[in-house]
Chains A and B, each alone.
Chain A
Amino acid sequence: MAAFRILLIDDEEELITTLVDRLEFRGLAAEAVTSGSAALARLREESFDAVVADLKMPGMSGTEVLDRIRREHPDIRVLLITGHGSGQEETPEILDGTYAILLKPFSIDALLEKLGVGQDG
């Protein structure tokens, strides 16, 4: 079975490249892009199991990316990360489980847990 493929989107390059390294340590196939449009282009070329997107980015925002993925690739699991929350957000979408949200900074274990990937995966 092929490795679990994750696409990371954030304008903070330092963050996602390190994350890619760390995820690869854990045996996952991760890839990083720095904008929403690049991510969508990448998604059209190859298939991914999950997307981790920053909520606030220059150009296309995390929620826009989320919308597009919802329509184009409904089976991809989406996780939004943000530095602008208090942990008390209780929007219907979150409660629905349509997407998950994770506050920066977060531990890698929390990320994997939200993505539903075990440490062993």
Chain B
Amino acid sequence: MRFFLQMLLPRRWAPGIADAEDLRRYRRIWWYTVTLTLFVSIAPLLIMTGVNHYLFRKTVKAEVRYDISRTLGNIARSLQFVIEERLSALQLLVHEHDQAELSDHDRLTRTFQNLKQSFGGFVDLGVIDVNGNQDYYTGPYNLEHVNYSDQDWFHEVTLRGVYVSDVFMGFRQFPHFVIAVKRETGGRSYFVLRATVDMELLNRLILAPGLGRAGEAFIVNRAGIMQTASRSHGNLLGPCTIPVPPYAANPQVVEDYDERGGSFVLGYIYIEHTPFVLMVIEKRLDLVQEWLKTRTELFVFLLASLVLIHIVVFWSSTAMVRHIRAADRRRAQVMHNAEYTNKMATIGRLAASVAHEINNPLAIINEKAGFLQDLISVTEDFPRREKTGAAVTSILKSVERCSAVTHRLLGFTRKLEVRTEHIFLPRLLLEVMSFLDKEALHRNIEVQTQFAADAPAIESDRGQLQQVFLNIINNAFAAVQDGGRIELGVAPAGDDRVKVTIRDDGTGIRPEDLKHIFEPFFSTKGEFGTGLGLSITYNLVQKLGGHIEVESEYGQGACFTVVLPVKRPALAE
């Protein structure tokens, strides 16, 4: 997990490597990249998901509306048919038989039995005279001679000829409704055939398949009283929770909101010749199964995409910033190297020209003093001969010392010319040491040498080797206390290599620093070091085809080993 996070987020930069300004720059690059990439990847995704969401919701809504409209039509047709069928049967009955035939109880019972068998749903049948008296009755109840003259339905049927009633419980104590037809018998005389129909007949029809779990169908009358039971919109014969919509003979689908703010889709139709309004309702779109499933899938997909995009963006941004930083560091190192080389070259040229300029007047001093010496030697009675002679000798000795210095300086700076020479390493080491003689003397540092007699001369670049060993020996001088000891060793290593060791008894190197010691910008000298010396040394040794190693125990001193090839590899510069 920790590793995973390190892949995604930039590591804390090691202190001392990048300054605060650089740190801010890399952080800014990282933030820019992350923000911009996230934005361009996530914005289209969100827009697409939103559009998808909206379109799908619209489609589901349209589908729900279509379903409702179809179910509504089917049920309405069935209802219409069932009611019309019974109405027609009664009308046929009333017109085909005269009152006398229907007034015979046995015949009425037989006719009722036939009717029940053919159509079903009929509960009983009665014949009512002009005064509202039920003269004849056949059915499970004892309702003969009941008077209906003061009831609304009797007036209605008298007025219109046919009548279908609301649902009611009546004497029978179960929901039913009445179908009544009138027969004119000449003059002002008429009689009415009245049949009750069990509501169960209609209940069966409205329990239609094809509605979702949240949907249902029910019937209300025009006054808003439930004619069938409903799960959630009112009890049988109680008020309906949904207000009765305006009249429509064709299926209507409307969208509305319930008191809790959930949207529902309502389909309704007024059933012809009846007080019934058929309603089909799909409650709350949010609960439609298909919609819910798809919406969940959509959000899971969105979430997974977001997580994936974040991982990829973070990972790639971090990798990119890391690469930029590595490239920057490489460039800085190369620039530092070039700068250092340039600086050394400039110092070298300067030293060479100074040495040259000094050598010429030195030669004149030398000759003049020599001439003086000549004069003294040929002149018999040279005044103060002894003293003058001593002075001249002293001048000549000083010239010699001066020329030793200038020659050494010239020899050292000759590294500017890159070329391969035969180099005898002990001699080269002594030459390098000669620069530090004074310091060694002053600080009472003991320098021991162990040069194997059989170490061969190697083919290499004198100047670069001088720089390598000067760097290492300088470090050794910095590490040892006054009165410390430095050992220089040269020994053959195998047939084709020579090993140079520089060992000191100084402070040594901390174990945790040991693996960084050759890295550029790594310095233990605090503000006094550039952190480049040993990295340049390392590169130079590599260039010369050799390798460098360091061993150290903290507090016990350090030992640098440089192994160089006897024959210079052809490819190395």
Contact = CB atoms under 8 A, between A and B. Distances in A.
B235 interface: no
A21 interface: yes
Given A21-B371, A108-B370, A86 B364 contact: no
Contacts of A83: 355-360, 362-363, 406
Q: Which label, helix, strand, loop or mixed, suits the secondary structure of the A interface?
A: loop
A113 B17 CA distance: 60
B535 interface: no
A105 B399 contact: yes
Interface of B (DSSP majority class):
helix
Contact of B363 (A22, A25, A104): A104
Interface string A1-34: 0000000000010110011011001000000000
B370 A86 contact: no
Contact of A84 (B356, B367, B371, B403): B356
Contacts of B443: none
Given A15-B367, A22-B371, A107-B370, A84 B378 contact: no
A82 to B, nearest CB: 8
A85 interface: yes
A21 B373 CA distance: 12
Interface residues of B, number: 29
A15 B356 contact: no
A90 B366 CA distance: 26
B408 A12 contact: no
A105 B407 contact: no
B408 A105 contact: no
A87 interface: yes
Contacts of B374: 21-22, 25
B94 interface: no
Nearest to B408: A86
Contact of B367 (A22, A86, A103): A22
A87 B360 CA distance: 16
B414 A15 contact: no
Given A18-B371, A83-B356, A105 B365 contact: yes
B411 A19 contact: no
Contacts of A81: 363
Interface of A: 12, 14-15, 18-19, 21-22, 25, 56, 81, 83-88, 90, 103-108
Given A103-B407, A105-B362, 16 more contacts: A14-B368, A18-B367, A18-B370, A21-B371, A22-B367, A22-B370, A56-B356, A83-B357, A84-B352, A85-B407, A85-B410, A86-B407, A88-B411, A105-B365, A107-B370, A107-B396
Interface of B: 352, 355-360, 362-368, 370-371, 374, 378, 396, 399, 403, 406-408, 410-412, 414, 421
Q: Which are the 10 A-B pairs with shortest beta-carbon distances? A: A83-B359, A86-B411, A105-B366, A104-B363, A105-B363, A18-B367, A86-B410, A84-B356, A105-B362, A104-B359
